[in-house]
A = this chain, B = another copy of it.
Amino acid sequence: MEKTTENIIFKDDSKQLARFAKALGHPTRIAILKHLENQSCCFTGDLVDIFPLAQSTISQHLKELKNAGLIQGEVNPPKIKYCINKENWKIAKELFQGFFE
């Protein structure tokens, strides 16, 4: 077996922590999450009003946060309501806590 990047075996926790960290690695996404923490939930449009970014860009950031498992969307036609994914949020919190001791 070759020593390629794909074959590096990281501990699952490290990979998961890195995945969460990467999702948090942009100020807009931090701000979105902080907003969700305050508001508990919000619509995409709310964020488009707050941030000086195109709607498609906000959508992309939301997609990344969703892919990382940090948020979840509930269809609420014609809007979509985004909330923190509390289950994964807890996991992330614990991983970061454990990492920083």
How many of chain A's residues have a CB under 8 angstroms from any CB in B? 37
Given contact pairs A52-B8, A92-B100, A93-B100, A14 touches B34 in the complex (Cβ within 8 A): yes
Q: Can you list 26 A-B pairs, Cβ within 8 angstroms, ordered by A?
A: A1-B50, A3-B52, A5-B53, A7-B52, A8-B28, A11-B27, A14-B30, A14-B31, A14-B34, A17-B24, A17-B30, A18-B24, A18-B26, A18-B27, A21-B21, A21-B22, A21-B24, A22-B24, A22-B25, A23-B25, A24-B99, A30-B99, A37-B101, A92-B100, A93-B100, A97-B100
- How many copies the complex holds: the figure is 2
Q: Name the residue of chain B whose CB is nearest to the CB of A51.
A: B8
